[in-house]
Structure 1
Amino acid sequence: MSPPVPVRPTTFATPARDVDGWARRFDTASMPILAETAATLQGLRENEDEVDAHLLTETVAADPLLTLKLLSHVARAQRTRSFDTRGDVETVTAALVMLGIAPFFRLFADSAVVEDWLGDQPEALEGFRRVLVRAHRAANFATAFAVHRMDHDVAVIREAALLHDFAEMLVWLHAPTLALEIARMQTDDPALRSVVAQEQVLNIRLTDLQQTLLTQWRLPPLLVKITNERHSEAVQVRNVLLAIRLARHTSAGWDNPAIPDDVVDIASLLNMRIEPTWALLRDIDG
């Protein structure tokens, strides 16, 4: 069998007028997955009978775009009564169990690949990868905080942190010239806030786009709530937001002057003293 022809993304050189306009530009069906994910899935597919949901979870849950594709597909299927509805499917493992292994491979194993999409745009690929690395670090911090707090929704909290910046990933994929413009503005003016640059270049805030897409794609309400900064009074949301803050501030090392304030807030979240909190964070990031 000949390899599939790489799918080229639909790209946009100009911004949409508003959040709804941007939301219409994206869908999960055509969303690519990471090359590493695609290679792992092809290897697992060769031994499909030996694969179960728990074995697949590690691969799927490490890829924020595949996580979105899977959760949104299962949510749509539930709403159309293709599956028995027994509450919202909130985790990758639950979604895989509900969907089944063979249907999963049939639907997702041959997805387009991020590195093919941006193969001729190395600056955009590097920008995408920076967001991805930050998302993974945020997910690690968020998971550790939730475990320390003995939260019953650790898996959902991890997903929320991993997916928190997915709209930025989509802009790198579908509007790389605009994403590069934002990056250059912030390089030229390090004090420029991200939301200000986004509004100037994209006409929107990416956090607003994310909430619209999560709702439009019918993702679980708990996941939508935990990713919504407007609910920052909720401890699970603070768990995620502090993990994201720390991941951003430590992206270039532990010398950022904002980090001590992060540590104070994290210590309060975890009900710990400051010095043990520093030690814990270093251990998580080690």
Structure 2
Amino acid sequence: MPAPLRLTRPLPSLDAWVEAFANAEIPVLAETAEALELMRATEDDVDAHGLAEMISTDPLMSLKVIAHASELKRGRLMADTETVTAALVLMGITPFFRAFGPQPTMEAALADHEDALMGLSRVMQRAERASRFALGFAAHRADPDAAVIHSAALLHDFAEMLLWLHAPALALQIAALQDADHSLRSAAAQRQVLGIELADLEQALMQRWHLPDLLMRITNDKHARDPQVRCVHLAVRLARHTARGWDDAGVPDDLHDIAELLNLSETHALKLLHEFD
């Protein structure tokens, strides 16, 4: 099993970042690893929906499962597996447990780096909230791809999660820059420290792992006018702005754009958002 990286300096190019991250071990939440072992012990009683429900609260385990299924179906005439449930149905329960043995955990990987573990935990929690917002928006719009939109929001910031895991010192530098200047945009801080933007790394990794086209498109903020992409983009934005409460200066703009997306008044939209949350 590949070892976790511990990069302390930026790599020379986007290709170098892709190569490093594509081949590195991806740990998961300790509670996910523990739940998988409990389920493994009673494998005959496990079904795809119950297993998917547990995995879908962990963005990095979800990423591993979807990437594995995408690799399995390469070259075969099968439907894309844009969600954890679809990936598990394609694989089957026994082959899943055979492919995924006891999982390394992020808590163990960052045991000596408490600040980075806290930073990573915040991104993970934000992703889980964003996926709930995005699913709520998609359901309100009666979007047939609601489950894929949920997946896309959950995975939207996976490159940032991998950075906290594999280059914690660099992730902390970016966080420090943004703490010192609240007007500094994430992409600018990333370019300053890493020489690349994490959004570009994410899309390149998704291509490398042959993730489904629909999932790649919905995760890509560059298609911002597409309503499905907008569901994810606004969900991620709101989760970021409300991570420490609902009084952030960015929330009124988020609320305006979400109300427009859902064709609601801002008052009604706000009530709905609190229900989603």
Provide TM-score, normalisation by structure 2.
Answer: 0.96
Sort the Cα spacing of 1:182 and 1:29 in 2 relative to 1 into closer, same or farther, 3 A: closer
Measured in 2, the distance between the counterparts of 1:188 and 1:176 equals 18
Mapped contact 1:38–1:109 kept (Cα < 8 A): no
In structure 2, which of residues 203, 206, 213 is the aligned counterpart of residue 211 of structure 1?
Answer: 203
What percent identity do the matched residue pairs reach? Answer: 51
1:65 aligns with 60
1:196 aligns with 188
Once the two structures are superposed, residues 2-51 of structure 1 have per-residue CA deviations (whole angstroms, 9 ceiling, x without a partner) of xxxx9851211111122111000113772111101001011111110011
2:112 aligns with 120
Are 1:14 and 2:13 matched, yes or no?
no
2:261 aligns with 269
Mapped contact 2:10–2:193 kept (Cα < 8 A): yes
Measured in 2, the distance between the counterparts of 1:258 and 1:197 equals 19
1:138 aligns with 130
- Secondary structure of the structure 1 residue equivalent to 2:102: coil
AA paired with 2:70?
A: A
Once the two structures are superposed, residues 65-104 of structure 1 have per-residue CA deviations (whole angstroms, 9 ceiling, x without a partner) of 111111111111111x5xx532212211111011111111
Written as runs of structure 1 = structure 2, the 5 A alignment for 1:35-46 is 35-46=30-41
1:98 aligns with 90
AA paired with 1:50?
A: D
Mapped contact 2:3–2:24 kept (Cα < 8 A): no
Written as runs of structure 1 = structure 2, the 5 A alignment for 1:163-178 is 163-178=155-170
In structure 1, which of residues 278, 283, 286 is the aligned counterpart of residue 270 of structure 2?
Answer: 278
Measured in 2, the distance between the counterparts of 1:170 and 1:258 equals 26
Measured in 1, the distance between the counterparts of 2:54 and 2:25 equals 19
Mapped contact 1:61–1:92 kept (Cα < 8 A): yes
Measured in 1, the distance between the counterparts of 2:234 and 2:56 equals 21
CA RMSD of aligned residues (A): 1.4
Q: How many residues align?
A: 277
In structure 2, which of residues 14, 21, 26 is the aligned counterpart of residue 31 of structure 1?
Answer: 26
Name segments (4+ residues, structure 1) moved above 2 Å: 27-30
Measured in 2, the distance between the counterparts of 1:28 and 1:228 equals 23
In structure 1, which of residues 256, 268, 280 is the aligned counterpart of residue 248 of structure 2?
Answer: 256
State the shift of 1:107 in Å: 1.8
Mapped contact 1:7–1:112 kept (Cα < 8 A): no
AA paired with 2:275?
A: D
Provide TM-score, normalisation by structure 1.
Answer: 0.93
Mapped contact 1:7–1:117 kept (Cα < 8 A): no
1:3 aligns with none
Are 1:242 and 2:234 matched, yes or no?
yes
Measured in 1, the distance between the counterparts of 2:60 and 2:94 equals 20
Question: Which sections of structure 2, spanning at least 5 residues, go unmatched?
Answer: none
Measured in 1, the distance between the counterparts of 2:170 and 2:213 equals 31
